[in-house]
Amino acid sequence: MYSTSLLSPAILFPTNNPKPTTKTRPKHHQLRPRMSLNHQTPPPIVNPFNSVAKLLWGKSLPPQLLISTVRSTWSTAWHLMMSQLAPSDSSGSYTRPTSLFRANPNQFPGEKAPGPTALHLYVGLPCPWAHRTLIVRALKGLEDSIPVSIASPGIDGSWVFLDNNTTSGNKLIAGSDKANGCKALREVYKLRQGGYNGRSTVPMLWDGERKEVVCNESYDIIELFNSGLNGLASNPELDLSPPSLRENIDEWNRIIYPNVNNGVYRCGFAQSQEAYDNAVNELFSTLDKIDDHLSASRYLCGDVLTLADICLFTTLIRFDLVYNVMFKCTKKKLIEYPNLHGYMRDIYQIPKVAQTCNFEATMDGYYKFLFPLNPGGIRPIMPSGCEHEVLSKPHNRGSLSLDQKNVQVYVS
């Protein structure tokens, strides 16, 4: 929509390199055998902006008026695009839209229980909220009963499906809509009775029998997967939200959701310095506290992995990969937190969890498709600390468990 070439360094800093002549050509070029009598040196690529810039202001910087005009045009365009991408309040703080379709773990009692494959899960791999549902689905052994379609970000940032149906071992990759054959997620939302014209977000749980959106709120979906569909699960004994810990889990969620899960978005989507300062300070003071807590506790609620850990994990695993750089969560890298990093590796190494992580898709999703935050679309190199090999290193957190067990997750 907006040409970023207006701001390209070529315009701001036009180069004045002499065109190569026969004299300046490197020797190996002169000696290259001629392939054809008609062979001609290809004409140098002329950037018309460079020529105009050279004509207008030569070697100096563009006139101040031009810079300030481009700057205020870009800033207006940026605010306009951000207001669509990330609605904010009057202070410039990001306010996440609420999800419209809610569910509860008792949604499908007795006779209402869906048959296998009546439910279908829609996700996108970069999305931390969708990632929660993939992990709980895997740990509960719901993969066969609840198939998944994986969307990828389209050019306008909305979720679309790809034609290909290739697989990559047991690694999850984006593909087509296996339930409804739609080209875009918004078309699936519209299939429901009464249609829909709100935001088409992932994760989304679809009921193929009723042709209805069951839920598009990640926490509701993971609660439902944890305890509301045990008849379909191959690992029904696993309880990631046992009644004895429920209060403790809620307490952690009340801290983690605003300051960490949504906190990184509050940093990245802030539209004023004040909004960013508040968000970033709250984020890092919360991470400091959690790191401290994890020095003596294997998981957030003690020795048992819970839904609160899954929710924290999907933000932590993206931290150094994207949030640290792109969302300006720069005070520290996650790898600098010894307890948090070990804790993240501990969860990453639980069987089936690593397969739900696709780092390339995650980096692409943020750096290439959140246009207003990275207009050049350049994807930085993967930080070495985020490689699978590093995440697979021993975490030694078993010693923090009272019973010294490895982990109380039994994967079928």
Ligand X SMILES: N[C@@H](CCC(=O)N[C@@H](CS)C(=O)NCC(=O)O)C(=O)O
Alpha-carbon Rg for the chain, nearest whole angstrom, is 26
Residues 136-175 that bind ligand X (CB under 6 A): 158
The count of C-alpha atoms lying within 13 angstroms of the C-alpha of 124, restricted to the half-sphere facing its C-beta, is 26
Beta strands in 226-286 (DSSP E): none
In this chain, which of 53, 127, 135, 301 binds ligand X, going by CB under 6 A? 127
- In whole angstroms, how close is the CB of 102 to ligand X at the nearest point? 10
Does residue 204 contact residue 188 with C-beta atoms inside 8 Å? yes
Nearer to ligand X, 202 or 270 (CB): 202
Nearer to ligand X, 270 or 294 (CB): 270
**Choices 65-73, 134-142, 198-206, 295-303; region in contact with ligand X by CB under 6 A:** 198-206
373 binds ligand X (CB under 6 A): no
Distance CA 272, CA 307 (A): 33
In this chain, which of 145, 149, 152, 218 binds ligand X, going by CB under 6 A? 218
Q: Residues 160, 372, 312, CA angle at the centre, nearest 5°? A: 70
Give me the helices (H) in 86-192, please.
Answer: 128-140, 185-190
Peptide bond into 147 cis (omega under 30): no
306 binds ligand X (CB under 6 A): no
Nearer to ligand X, 161 or 337 (CB): 161
Nearer to ligand X, 217 or 364 (CB): 217
- In whole angstroms, how close is the CB of 204 to ligand X at the nearest point? 8
Structural tokens at position 401: 């468990």
Q: How far apart are the first and last CA of the chain?
A: 49
362 binds ligand X (CB under 6 A): no
Distance CA 65, CA 7 (A): 14
- In whole angstroms, how close is the CB of 129 to ligand X at the nearest point? 4
- In whole angstroms, how close is the CB of 400 to ligand X at the nearest point? 29
Does residue 141 contact residue 411 with C-beta atoms inside 8 Å? yes
Distance CA 330, CA 309 (A): 23
364 binds ligand X (CB under 6 A): no
Does residue 402 contact residue 391 with C-beta atoms inside 8 Å? no
346 binds ligand X (CB under 6 A): no
Distance CA 187, CA 192 (A): 9
Nearer to ligand X, 221 or 305 (CB): 221
Does residue 410 contact residue 306 with C-beta atoms inside 8 Å? no
> What are the catalytic residues?
127, 265
**Choices 1-9, 194-202, 298-306, 379-387; region in contact with ligand X by CB under 6 A:** 194-202
Residue by residue, DSSP assigns 276-335 as HHHHHHHHHHHHHHHHHHTTT-SBTTBSS--HHHHHHHHHHTTIIIIIHHHT---S--GG
366 binds ligand X (CB under 6 A): no
356 binds ligand X (CB under 6 A): no
Nearer to ligand X, 14 or 271 (CB): 271
Residue 237: count of CB within 10 angstroms of its CB: 9
> What binding mask, one character per residue, do residues 62-101 give for ligand X by CB under 6 A, x or -?
-------------------------------------x--
**Choices 199-207, 240-248, 347-355, 368-376; region in contact with ligand X by CB under 6 A:** 199-207
The alpha carbon dihedral of 399, 402, 404, 407 has a sign of negative
- In whole angstroms, how close is the CB of 359 to ligand X at the nearest point? 16
- In whole angstroms, how close is the CB of 201 to ligand X at the nearest point? 3
- In whole angstroms, how close is the CB of 11 to ligand X at the nearest point? 33
Q: Which residues contact 220 (CB under 8 A, 6 or more apart)?
A: 99, 102, 103, 104
In this chain, which of 101, 108, 122, 129 binds ligand X, going by CB under 6 A? 129
**Choices 46-54, 105-113, 200-208, 229-237; region in contact with ligand X by CB under 6 A:** 200-208
252 binds ligand X (CB under 6 A): no
In this chain, which of 88, 145, 152, 201 binds ligand X, going by CB under 6 A? 201
Query: Which residues sit at the interface with ligand X, rule CB under 6 A?
Result: 99, 127, 129, 158, 199-203, 217-218
